[in-house]
Amino acid sequence: MKFSVVEIRLRPGQLFKVVMKNTASKANSEIFHNIAFLKKELTTGELHGATSHMGEDFKLPENLREICFGETSIVNPEEETEVELQAPLEKGNYTFFCTIPGHAFLGMQGVLIVE
Ligand SMILES: [Cu+2]
**Domain of 109: which CATH number?**
2.60.40.420
**25 assigned to some structural domain:** yes
Q: What is the phi/psi pair of residue 64, to 5°?
A: -85, -35
Rounded Cα distance between 46 and 7, Å, is 19
The pLDDT confidence band at residue 63, using thresholds 50, 70 and 90, is: confident
**1 assigned to some structural domain:** no
Asked whether the beta carbons of 27 and 78 are under 8 A apart, the reply is no
Q: What is the phi/psi pair of residue 43, to 5°?
A: -75, 165
Give the CA angle between residues 60, 38, 69 to the nearest 5°. Answer: 80
Q: Is the pLDDT of residue 55 over 70?
A: no
Rounded Cα distance between 93 and 115, Å, is 9
What is the CA(74)–ligand 1 centre distance, in A? 9
**2 assigned to some structural domain:** no
Asked whether the beta carbons of 110 and 44 are under 8 A apart, the reply is no
First to last CA, the chain: 28
Question: How many domains is the chain built from?
Answer: 1
What is the CA(103)–ligand 1 centre distance, in A? 5
pTM of the model: 0.91
What is the CA(83)–ligand 1 centre distance, in A? 17
What is the CA(11)–ligand 1 centre distance, in A? 27
Residues 5-11: what's their mean pLDDT? 97
Share of the chain above pLDDT 90, in %: 66
Rounded Cα distance between 87 and 58, Å, is 24
Domain range for residue 93? 7-114
- Report the side by side order of strands in the sheet with 7-10: 7-10, 109-114, 92-97, 36-38, 68-71
What is the CA(52)–ligand 1 centre distance, in A? 13
**63 assigned to some structural domain:** yes
pLDDT of amino acid 19: 96
pLDDT of amino acid 7: 97
Q: Is the pLDDT of residue 77 over 90?
A: yes
